Amino acid sequence: MTSRPLIGITTQTLEAIPGELPRCWVMSQRYVDVLTSVGALPWVIPLTRDMTTLREIYDRLDGVFLPGGVDMEPESYREARLPVCGATDADRDRVEIALVRWAMAERKPLLAVCRGVQVLNVAAGGSLYQDLQHWTGDPIKHDYWPSDGHHRDDLVHEIRVEEGTQLAAIMGAGTSIVNSMHHQGIKALASALVPNAYAPDGLIEGVEGRDDGYLLGVQWHPEELVESDRAARRLFESFIEAAAAHEPEVAAR
């Protein structure tokens, strides 16, 4: 019997429904299904306020996966909240920022998608555009929401994967078309990260770490494309391969 790498998947708060439900922690089954399909043993992470418990969960993981979701609280990147900022989840911000910082310190494999790449950038010291329509310049459309009649796997704009990056080694360099469901994006890039993909308007669409560890984030939703796009599936496979090969490192907490 082979051992499958244990992958932590963060959750999001579902606020209480008076008289029916207390606050809940939820996350799309899609992430669990895709990670399971490439060999992971998924572990859904609660947004506990007990940091000792969170650290013990983290220590048992072979890799961390950050999924999509609501906006980040601007306070987390030292900016005042603007009216264009949407719903946030302070508990999720706190848990995910801690997980990213621990993983970066110990070179534990981490893969982030959509909101996840934004969390990765903020945790490493970067900032975000609270709404891309307020970006000076000429932004293309990035917010193709299913609520507006789009499908989650609609291929809607190009990206360019940079030569010589880890992402290029996994998915191939050059241009491709991706799905896009976000209104925020990377503003100031954290110094510990390098861009590995761009949209036609210049927005950073992917980042990775500066060393040879597995630290990757993309702004689109590859989990929706794994059945139709070999490169998207390869991204998840490479993450699980890195997690399976990871050997824990001791770092100061």
- Residue-level pLDDT at 136: 62
Catalytic residue check, 151: no
Residue scoring higher pLDDT (251 or 136): 136
pLDDT tens, residue by residue, 133-146: 877 667 799 999 99
- Residue-level pLDDT at 22: 87
Question: Of the residues 157, 182, 183, 221, which is catalytic?
Answer: 221
- Residue-level pLDDT at 134: 78
Query: Are the C-beta atoms of 205 and 105 separated by less than 8 Å?
Result: no
Question: Of the residues 96, 208, 223, 224, which is catalytic?
Answer: 223
| Per-residue pLDDT at 252 exceeds 60 | no
- Residue-level pLDDT at 2: 58
pLDDT tens, residue by residue, 60-116: 999 999 999 999 999 999 999 999 999 999 999 999 999 999 999 999 999 999 999
Question: Of the residues 85, 114, 208, 224, which is catalytic?
Answer: 114
| Per-residue pLDDT at 168 exceeds 90 | yes
How would residue 224 be classed by pLDDT, with cut points 50, 70 and 90?
A: very high
Catalytic residue check, 221: yes
- Of 96, 92, 83, 64, give the one whose Cα is nearest residue 216: 64
- Residue-level pLDDT at 1: 41
* Secondary structure letter of residue 209 according to DSSP: E
- Residue-level pLDDT at 249: 64
Domain 6-245: top CATH class: alpha beta
Alpha helices (H) in the chain, listed in sequence order: 29-37, 51-60, 90-106, 115-123, 166-171, 230-245
Q: What percent of the chain has pLDDT over 90?
A: 89
Domain regions of the chain by residue span: 6-245
- Residue-level pLDDT at 133: 82
Catalytic residue check, 24: no
Opening angle at CA 67, ends 64 and 73, nearest 5: 105
Query: Are the C-beta atoms of 91 and 49 separated by less than 8 Å?
Result: yes
Name the pTM for this structure. Answer: 0.95
Q: Which of 13-17, 171-175, 193-197, 240-244 has the lowest mean pLDDT?
A: 13-17
